[in-house]
Structure 1
Amino acid sequence: MLLPRVKRTHEPHRLDDGTVRIGGEIYGIASEITDPLGGAWAALTLMDGTRTPDDIVRTICGSVPGISAPEAREIVGTLIGSGHVEDASAQVPDEISARERDRYGRSQAFFHLVDLTPRPHAWEAQVRLKKARVVVLGLGGTGSHAAWALAATGVGRIHCVDADVVELSNLNRQVLYNEEDIGRMKVDIAVERLRRLNSDIEITGESRRVDGEAGLRRLVQDCDVLALCADEPKGRGLAEGISVWANRVCAASGVPWVGGGYNGPLVTVGTFERGRGACYECLVEGEARRRRPDLPADLGGPGVMAISAGISGQLVAHAVISLITEVPQPTTGTFLGLNLIAPEHHVWVRHPPRPGCSVCAPSG
């Protein structure tokens, strides 16, 4: 890092006891530093984008008693590696045009705020999104909202898949369609509307009903992430159903995937990547062991409105974006969500992989 500078939204504060806090405390990304000699506070004060790390080390050694040069270098290195500091000399990369800077500037500000991984420049997350290809399977309540969010955020290539036509009953929750679309193929309308939303990315689509692992395997070829927003066909056990097919096909293909859904007011999303936590089947089996035998754990059903479908789709899109950008770090191997009529009920499901599970194995 040539010219370290504390991120504007991560302004440090020093407490009366000498402790230093840096970062967005209200966002849950703050760091607290014990600083009895004042070296960390001095370094942060000097990190204004006009000095090199060596300049900062020399100034600390000359102004803060009791701190040696190796200690000062360690302080500066630790702060640079904390994610609260950016390089003031970094330029916007050539991959991001002036039009894209305008279009995605607020997205860049979001990523820059919450990202605690040192990056070569502040636009890395947007560059990763621009280079990514995502398949959205299912364009109903969850899928239509997810596809819209991914297109708006700038995912470079989105492939939409659905075999259904628009029906009047869809219009209470499916954001891409209107009354004039009734009877038309969802995928045709989705591609048309998403292209009008963002002409700078590639939107493709096909009318296809996935009926087995072979068909799903063809879909995820050359795909970075699968957004599974379809709940049909359903399975009767751990060996059946489209979620199980996605679990096995994506693991074998090395493709991470996200699945979301709703059941009345309960909205959840699961994020899975081989070698990073339990797979879908391990989570379902682990949760089945934890719950009473007569208490089902599946998602899906007729009870849904625009709000629950929208939250479901946005959670799916957020999980997909986190897999692509690593901002925030993806919560793989988990189900998470919320209950719209019980604000205190937060869904957080995590179980260890089953011994010998071939899907969870890191490789092979």
Structure 2
Amino acid sequence: MMLNGSQKALRPRIRDSVLVFSRGDILQFFCTMELRVKEFNVPDFVTELIPLLDGTRTVAELEFAMQSSHGYSSEVLADVLGVLSEERLLDRAVPSSITSHRFTRQEQLFEEFIASYPQLPDSPQVLQDRLAQARVVIVGMGGAGSWVLQPLVAAGVGRFDILDPDVVDVTNLNRQVLFTEADLGKSKVNAAAGKALMINTAVQIKAHRQRVESPDDLSTALSSADLIVNCADEPSVVAASDTVAAAAQRAGVAHLVGGAYGGNLGVLGISVIPGQTVCWECVRAETVNDHGRAEMVALKGRTRSGGSLAPVSGIVGNFIAWEALRILLGLPLGLSNQVRELDIMTLEWRVRPVSARPSCTNCSHLA
């Protein structure tokens, strides 16, 4: 394999997440990002080459540095670089010209995403710009919603609409992360918006003290949204998710619905990309008759709100926020086409795959 002039101007760099070990003529590459190990038998010069693959030298400079090493030839060097690239052991991202800024550590992680997923653009700044330009709607600003908003603001998502009819109550303070005693009696959306601006003054956030009762209540917010997340639980999580999903499906907007927590169970919800993943209606059809309940009469339901702690609502809210970022960035999804529940006590996952119904008007083409 021969390299042309433009290829020789590249500055190959082994990914930060890749650790390299040697044993005789064997090199082992351990990618901590993907928990992946690759081993190769290599000529002597490759062991000398590895420390030089730090992004500071062009290929032409590497050729000059290696020319007197045992086993070296320009063709073998080109082959080695080709294999490292094919195995996703080299950075693919264009390095940022800015040495340190608010999102430096985040963009370092984006470099790893870019190396792992070829569908992503080769610039961490482009991914950061995606977040800055995104608009996210969050329905419900309580135990889950406040934990969803905080990390999205910190990550640089630029625009929000948040909806909730309630005021901050003293019983909220044990788990709703954005509120303090000073917020008691204030509307949740106004208090949350104020805290969001304290995290990032560049954020644009519209606070709507509003109860969502029908899909039409979301028409305006969804007209320019990239994603809507349901964190409301009235009249129930399922009913609120029905409303949000119906509005989002009609508008063609990505949505995260069905997330909840209670006792020792965290339900992370379902991510839906209209036309690309199983819809919420198919999830509901799959789960409505769990344990044969469709034919049963309810004798007792909940008589009061379920108990919870900040770590539990935080676990669920942060998982939802992480899925939201995956949607906005174009990363593979973790909560689509399945129902995923976490037992907080045992830390065991319960995962149920869900398929599209052949009769579904939203996603039957996926069946």
Query: Which of 347, 350, 364 in structure 1 is aligned with 2:353?
Result: 350
Query: Which of 1, 15, 28 in structure 2 is aligned with 1:7?
Result: 15
Q: Which moved more, 1:164-173 or 1:29-38?
A: 29-38
Which residues in structure 2 correspond to 1:151-230 (within 5 Å)? 151-230=153-232
The corresponding residue for 2:3 is: none
CA-based RMSD of the aligned residues comes to: 3.8
**1:100-140 Cα shifts (integer Å, max 9, x gaps):** x4322222233334551254233343222112111111101
- How many Å separate the matches in 1 of 2:222 and 2:182? 32
Q: Give the TM-score, by structure 1 length.
A: 0.79
Query: Which of 133, 137, 140 in structure 1 is aligned with 2:139?
Result: 137
Which residues in structure 2 correspond to 1:18-97 (within 5 Å)? 18=26, 20-24=28-32, 27=33, 29-33=34-38, 35-36=40-41, 47-52=53-58, 76-77=81-82, 79-86=84-91, 90-92=95-97
**1:26-77 Cα shifts (integer Å, max 9, x gaps):** x5x04333534569967866633245568879999998979995x9767644
Is 1:318 aligned to residue 322 of structure 2? yes
**1:321-342 Cα shifts (integer Å, max 9, x gaps):** 1111134654422333422222
The corresponding residue for 2:251 is: 253
- How many Å separate the matches in 1 of 2:83 and 2:165? 53
AA aligned to 1:247 is A
- How many Å separate the matches in 2 of 1:75 and 1:37? 9
- How many Å separate the matches in 2 of 1:324 and 1:330? 13
The question of whether the paired residues in 1 share the 8 Å contact of 2:173 and 2:181 is answered with yes
Cα 1:88/1:349, change in 2 over 3 Å: closer
The corresponding residue for 1:121 is: 123
Q: Which moved more, 1:56-65 or 1:218-227?
A: 56-65
- How many Å separate the matches in 1 of 2:70 and 2:45? 10
Secondary structure of the structure 1 residue equivalent to 2:196: helix
C-alpha displacement at 1:155, in angstroms? 0.6
The question of whether the paired residues in 2 share the 8 Å contact of 1:265 and 1:339 is answered with yes
Cα 1:361/1:63, change in 2 over 3 Å: farther
**1:298-336 Cα shifts (integer Å, max 9, x gaps):** 999522222211212111111111111134654422333
- How many Å separate the matches in 2 of 1:64 and 1:336? 54
AA aligned to 1:222 is S
- How many Å separate the matches in 1 of 2:126 and 2:226? 17
C-alpha displacement at 1:287, in angstroms? 3.9
AA aligned to 2:12 is P
AA aligned to 1:31 is R
The question of whether the paired residues in 2 share the 8 Å contact of 1:323 and 1:329 is answered with yes
- How many Å separate the matches in 2 of 1:40 and 1:173? 57
AA aligned to 2:273 is E
- How many Å separate the matches in 2 of 1:40 and 1:332? 46
Cα 1:277/1:16, change in 2 over 3 Å: farther
Matched-pair identity in %: 25
Larger Rg: 2
The answer for unaligned runs of 5 or more in structure 1 is none
- How many Å separate the matches in 2 of 1:326 and 1:207? 31
- How many Å separate the matches in 2 of 1:55 and 1:353? 55
Q: Which moved more, 1:134-143 or 1:73-82?
A: 73-82
The corresponding residue for 1:108 is: 107
C-alpha displacement at 1:178, in angstroms? 2.4
Secondary structure of the structure 1 residue equivalent to 2:356: coil
- How many Å separate the matches in 2 of 1:128 and 1:170? 33
C-alpha displacement at 1:359, in angstroms? 2.0
Secondary structure of the structure 2 residue equivalent to 1:6: coil
- How many Å separate the matches in 1 of 2:61 and 2:281? 54
AA aligned to 2:21 is H
Cα 1:56/1:87, change in 2 over 3 Å: farther
Cα 1:222/1:44, change in 2 over 3 Å: farther
C-alpha displacement at 1:224, in angstroms? 1.0
Q: Which moved more, 1:145-154 or 1:214-223?
A: 214-223
